[in-house]
């Protein structure tokens, strides 16, 4: 499985190391030809407006939007979650997302209370173990559409959600050295979705 990590801005390297431990072949992507050949994509944490703008500068905005809409498996962490959301609250004026995931997110939602924090969460993947979650000016989810499953929450606010082909977390598993979320994306989201297409 060839997994791209969108390398326009944000913590690309950390996602690449997490993916390597999951036994896939990650590659940093920013050009159209590179995106053409990936099977799945990770959108890193960073700054969602910057990543969206740079995707237009690199001429890959429409291509990414289309591939996601066509069902390429995608995982977005933090800014990546915002980029996958169909609707963004507290967006910058004119802020675009790739969309495809039927959720409404509020940008910097925790940021108004506490800028950054860590928490141990239950993650609904069948394991009783808590997962260490790092939040940095993180969004939370205010609405989930039909077919979107909530996998983790903080104070009733969903912070990890999935649909058939997409996974999004408000937090940054790439920063903790715990690769459970990346493994979940590869084994439970991407692999089944790609097998179905074959
Ligand atoms: N607040 C950032 C944004 O709106 C996301 C922060 C992050 O990815 N750590 O894009």
pLDDT digits (tens, 9 = 90+) for 167-187: 999 999 999 989 999 999 999
CA of 111 to the centre of ligand 1 (A): 10
Q: Please tell us whether the domain made up of 3-197 is placed in CATH 3.40.50.2300.
A: no
The pLDDT score that the predictor gives to residue 112 is: 67
Tens-digit pLDDT profile for residues 99-125? 999 999 999 998 766 789 999 999 999
Average pLDDT over residues 142-155: 97
The pLDDT score that the predictor gives to residue 21 is: 95
Phi, psi of 160 (to 5 degrees): -145, 125
Closest among 158, 159, 145, 139 to 90, alpha carbons compared: 139
Closest among 192, 198, 190 to 39, alpha carbons compared: 190
* C-alpha torsion sign, points 37, 185, 105, 49: negative
CA of 174 to the centre of ligand 1 (A): 14
- Is 22 catalytic? The answer is no
Nearest Cα residue to atom 9 of ligand 1? 136
Is 76 near ligand 1, meaning CB less than 6 Å away?
no
**Over 80: is that where the pLDDT of 190 sits?**
yes
What's the token pair of residue 149? 């499953």
Tens-digit pLDDT profile for residues 46-101? 999 999 999 999 999 999 999 999 999 999 999 999 999 999 999 999 999 999 99
């Amino acid at each position: 499985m060839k997994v791209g990590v969108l390398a326009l801005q944000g913590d690309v390297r950390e996602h690449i190391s997490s993916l390597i431990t999951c036994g896939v072949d990650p590659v940093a992507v920013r050009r159209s030809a590179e995106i053409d050949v990936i099977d799945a994509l990770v959108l890193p944490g960073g700054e969602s407006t910057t990543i969206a703008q740079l995707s237009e500068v690199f001429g890959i905005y429409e291509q990414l939007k289309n591939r996601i809409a066509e069902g390429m498996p995608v995982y977005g962490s933090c800014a990546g979650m915002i980029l996958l959301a169909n609707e963004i609250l507290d967006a910058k004026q004119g802020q675009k997302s790739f969309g495809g995931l039927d959720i409404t997110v509020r940008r910097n939602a925790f940021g108004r209370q506490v800028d950054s924090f860590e928490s141990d969460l239950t993650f609904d993947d069948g394991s009783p173990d808590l997962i260490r979650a790092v939040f940095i000016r993180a969004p939370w989810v205010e609405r989930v559409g039909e077919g979107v499953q909530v996998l983790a929450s903080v104070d009733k606010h969903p912070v990890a959600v999935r649909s058939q082909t997409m996974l999004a977390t408000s937090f940054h598993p790439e920063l903790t050295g715990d690769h459970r979320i990346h493994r979940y994306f590869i084994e439970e989201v991407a692999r089944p979705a790609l097998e179905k297409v074959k």
